[in-house]
């Protein structure tokens, strides 16, 4: 009787394993297809660009690099001026920095808890300030008035390569956070709540950066296109409310990106 039960259990287990392996192969095949499509899409150029060539294979979008450098320089100067002479009764510039700090701190504290938020607060603050500065540079500065040999200046987040890099950095940060806090036990999350969720949990790690990437890029491009079209049709009074709405949307997108980055880190360390 025991031998019969053992044989029956063996065949049932073999059938379950075969079924599970079949679905795993299908999922990994689909991931391979997604990777191949991504490689092909990365070779597609939309519009013209001012290239900075470092080698035969490394070409950077010069307009994005230049505006990104200006954004980083502007943020650095702003923070240096605001924090160079801290007062008990803050001046307007110091008050603005304190408001930004409290906002980012509340995001990190809410998503990661009091035990861990301070470790990742600099990253969340950097992401928030860079996205905010980039978005506002596109909304406030008339870059299109500056002519260059090829392409045009715009907000760095108007380039999908920038948003993709920010999304990848976020992914690296929550992998790092999980390994730093939980060690090798971090990988247990891939088989929770059951081992059958392993493929789905792996796919989820691919969808997070894609979601961050296209959400930010799509909203920034849509906002700039809306303002451009309306300004070309009605160039006087009507575009002003749209531009104000664009400033609000730019700030909101920075807040959403920072909140999601903090949420992903909080998810892996909980």
Instruction: Say if 47 falls within a structural domain.
Output: no
pLDDT in tens, 246-266: 778 888 889 999 999 999 888
152: three-class secondary structure by DSSP: coil
Contacts of 153 (CB under 8 A, 6+ apart): 63, 66, 67, 143, 144, 146
pLDDT band at 129 (very low <50, low <70, confident <90, very high): very high
Asked if the model's pLDDT at residue 100 lies above 60, the reply is: yes
Amino acid 2: pLDDT: 45
Amino acid 237: pLDDT: 60
| Percentage of the chain lying above the pLDDT 70 cut | 71
Calpha distance 261→268 (Å, rounded): 11
Instruction: Say if 31 falls within a structural domain.
Output: no
Instruction: Say if 230 falls within a structural domain.
Output: yes
**What is the pLDDT of the chain when averaged over all its residues?**
77
pLDDT in tens, 1-14: 544 445 454 445 45
Amino acid 215: pLDDT: 84
Amino acid 76: pLDDT: 92
Beta bridge partners of 51: 61
The token pair that represents 55 in the structure block: 């080698």
Counted domains in the chain: 1
Pair 112, 100: CB distance under 8 Å: no
Pair 153, 63: CB distance under 8 Å: yes
Instruction: Say if 66 falls within a structural domain.
Output: yes
Instruction: Say if 4 falls within a structural domain.
Output: no
pLDDT in tens, 22-74: 555 665 666 566 556 555 545 555 556 666 777 666 777 778 888 899 999 99
Query: What average pLDDT does this structure show over 118-129?
Result: 92
Determine how β-strand 51-53 pairs with β-strand 59-61.
antiparallel
Amino acid 178: pLDDT: 83
Q: What is the DSSP letter of 257?
A: H
Instruction: Say if 46 falls within a structural domain.
Output: no
Q: Token match 């079949």: residue?
A: 22
Query: What average pLDDT does this structure show over 158-177?
Result: 87
pLDDT band at 16 (very low <50, low <70, confident <90, very high): low
Domain range for 194 is 58-269
**Can you list the alpha helix ranges (DSSP code H) found in the chain?**
2-42, 62-83, 92-112, 117-140, 160-182, 198-233, 239-269
Instruction: Say if 23 falls within a structural domain.
Output: no
Q: What is the DSSP letter of 143?
A: G
Long-range contacts formed by 111-117: CB under 8 A, 24+ apart: 111/259, 111/262, 111/263, 111/265, 111/266, 112/262, 112/265, 112/266, 112/269, 113/266, 113/270, 116/177, 116/181, 116/266, 116/269
């Amino acid at each position: 009787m025991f031998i019969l039960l053992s044989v029956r259990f063996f065949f049932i287990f073999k059938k379950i394993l075969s079924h599970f392996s079949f679905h795993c192969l299908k999922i990994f095949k689909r991931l391979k297809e997604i990777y191949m499509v991504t490689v092909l899409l990365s070779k597609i150029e939309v519009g013209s660009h001012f290239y900075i060539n470092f080698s035969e294979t490394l070409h950077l979008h010069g307009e994005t690099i230049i505006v990104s450098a200006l954004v980083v320089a502007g943020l650095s100067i702003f923070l240096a001026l605001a924090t160079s002479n801290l007062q008990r009764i803050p001046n307007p510039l110091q008050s603005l920095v304190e408001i930004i700090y409290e906002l980012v701190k509340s995001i990190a504290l809410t998503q990661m808890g009091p035990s861990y938020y301070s470790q990742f607060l600099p990253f969340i603050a950097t992401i928030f300030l860079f996205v905010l500065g980039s978005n506002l540079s596109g909304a406030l500065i008339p870059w299109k008035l500056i002519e260059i040999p090829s392409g045009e200046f715009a907000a760095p987040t108007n380039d999908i390569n920038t948003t993709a890099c920010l999304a990848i950095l976020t992914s690296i940060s929550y992998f790092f956070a999980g390994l730093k806090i939980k060690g090798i036990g971090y990988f247990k999350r891939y088989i929770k709540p059951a081992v059958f969720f392993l493929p789905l949990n792996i796919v989820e790690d691919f969808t997070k950066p894609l979601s961050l990437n296209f959400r930010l890029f799509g909203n920034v491009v849509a906002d700039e296109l809306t303002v451009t079209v309306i300004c070309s049709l009605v160039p006087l009074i009507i575009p002003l409310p749209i531009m104000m709405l664009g400033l609000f949307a730019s700030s909101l997108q920075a807040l959403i990106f920072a909140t999601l980055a903090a949420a992903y880190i909080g998810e892996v360390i909980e």
